[in-house]
Amino acid sequence: MLEIRNLSFSVNDDSSDKEIIQNIDLVIPDNKLIVVTGPNGGGKSTLAKLIAGIEKPTSGSIFFDGQDITNTSVTDRAKMGISFAFQQPVRFKGIQVVDLIRLATGKDISIADACQYLAEVGLCAKDYINREVNASLSGGELKRIEIATVMARQTKLSVFDEPEAGIDLWSFQNMIQIFEQMRASIENSSIMIISHQERILEIADEIVVLADGKIEK
Amino acid sequence: MYPFKKPLDEIQKRLLKEIADLHKVPTGAYNIRSNGESAGRQSTANIEIVPKPEGAGLDIYVKPGTKNESVHIPVVLTQSGLKEIVYNDFHIGEDCDVVIVAGCGIDNCGIQDSEHDGIHRFYIEKNAKVRYVEKHYGSGDGTGKRILNPGTEVYMDEGSTCEMEMVQIKGVDSTERVTTAELAAGAKLVVRERLMTHGEQNAVSTYVVNLNGDGSSADVVSRSVARDTSFQKFDAKIVGNAVCSGHTECDSIIMDKGRILAVPSLEANSTEAALVHEAAIGKIAGDQIIKLMTLGLTEQQAEEQIINGFLK
Contact (Cβ atoms closer than 8 angstroms) between residue B74 and residue B102? yes
The mean per-residue pLDDT over the stretch B11-32 comes to 73
Residue B86 lies in a domain: yes
pLDDT tens profile A15-30: 788 899 999 999 999 9
- The residues, any chain, with a CB within 8 Å of residue B7's CB and separated by 6 or more, are none
Query: Does the distance separating the beta carbons of A54 and B294 come in below 8 Å?
Result: yes
Measure B297 CA to nearest chain A CA, in Å: 6
Q: Considering only alpha carbons, which residue of chain B is nearest residue A98?
A: B309
Residue B223 lies in a domain: yes
Model confidence band, residue B2 (pLDDT cutoffs 50, 70, 90) = very low
User: Does one domain contain both B113 and B53?
Assistant: yes
User: Does one domain contain both B164 and B178?
Assistant: no
Model confidence band, residue B24 (pLDDT cutoffs 50, 70, 90) = low
A135 has a chain B CB within 8 A of its CB: no
Residue B294 lies in a domain: no
For residue B280, the enclosing domain spans 173-286
Of residues B95 and A178, more confidence is placed in B95
The mean per-residue pLDDT over the stretch B30-58 comes to 88
Domain end among B169, B198, B214: B169
User: Does one domain contain both B31 and B149?
Assistant: yes
pLDDT at B171: 83
User: Does one domain contain both B79 and B20?
Assistant: yes
DSSP-derived secondary structure letter, B206: E
Which residues of chain A, if any, have pLDDT below 50?
A: none
Q: Where are the beta strands (DSSP E) in chain B?
A: 29-34, 37-42, 47-51, 57-62, 67-77, 83-92, 97-107, 114-124, 129-139, 146-148, 151-156, 161-170, 174-183, 188-197, 202-211, 216-226, 231-240, 244-254, 259-268, 273-282
User: Does one domain contain both B132 and B182?
Assistant: no
List the beta bridge partners of residue A65. none
Residue B163 lies in a domain: yes
Model confidence band, residue B284 (pLDDT cutoffs 50, 70, 90) = very high
Sorted by where each starts, the structural domains of chain A and their CATH numbers stand as: 2-216 (3.40.50.300)
Contact (Cβ atoms closer than 8 angstroms) between residue B15 and residue B34? no
User: Does one domain contain both B101 and B130?
Assistant: yes
Query: Does the distance separating the beta carbons of A96 and B297 come in below 8 Å?
Result: no
User: Does one domain contain both B10 and B135?
Assistant: yes
User: Does one domain contain both B164 and B195?
Assistant: no
Share above pLDDT 90 across residues of chain B, in percent, rounded to a whole number: 63
Residue B302 lies in a domain: no
Q: What angle do CA A139, A141, A143 make, to 5 degrees?
A: 70
Measure B249 CA to nearest chain A CA, in Å: 14
pLDDT tens profile B194-208: 999 988 999 999 999
Residue B301 lies in a domain: no
User: Does one domain contain both B122 and B250?
Assistant: no
What domain count does chain B have? 2
B→A contacts (Cβ < 8 Å), by residue, are 223, 251, 285, 287-288, 290-299, 305-306, 308-312
Q: Is pLDDT of B23 > 60?
A: no
What sign does the CA torsion over A201, A203, A207, A212 have? negative
Query: Does the distance separating the beta carbons of B309 and A90 come in below 8 Å?
Result: no
Residue B308 lies in a domain: no
The reported pTM is: 0.85
Task: Please name the residue ranges forming H helices in A42-189.
Answer: 44-52, 74-80, 97-105, 111-120, 125-128, 139-153, 170-185
User: Does one domain contain both B146 and B219?
Assistant: no
Q: How far apart are CA A20 and CA B11, in angstroms?
A: 60
**Which of B288, B296, B310 comes nearest A79 by C-beta?**
B296
A86 has a chain B CB within 8 A of its CB: yes
For A148, the 3-state DSSP assignment is: helix
**Which of A74, A96, A99 comes nearest B294 by C-beta?**
A74
User: Does one domain contain both B193 and B254?
Assistant: yes
- Backbone phi, psi, residue B14, to 5°: -65, -40
pLDDT at A121: 87
Domain end among B169, B199, B226: B169
User: Does one domain contain both B215 and B260?
Assistant: yes
The DSSP bridge pattern shows strands B37-42 and B29-34 to be antiparallel
Domain end among B112, B135, B169: B169
Query: Does the distance separating the beta carbons of B296 and A75 come in below 8 Å?
Result: yes
Residue B297 lies in a domain: no
Q: Is pLDDT of B1 > 50?
A: no
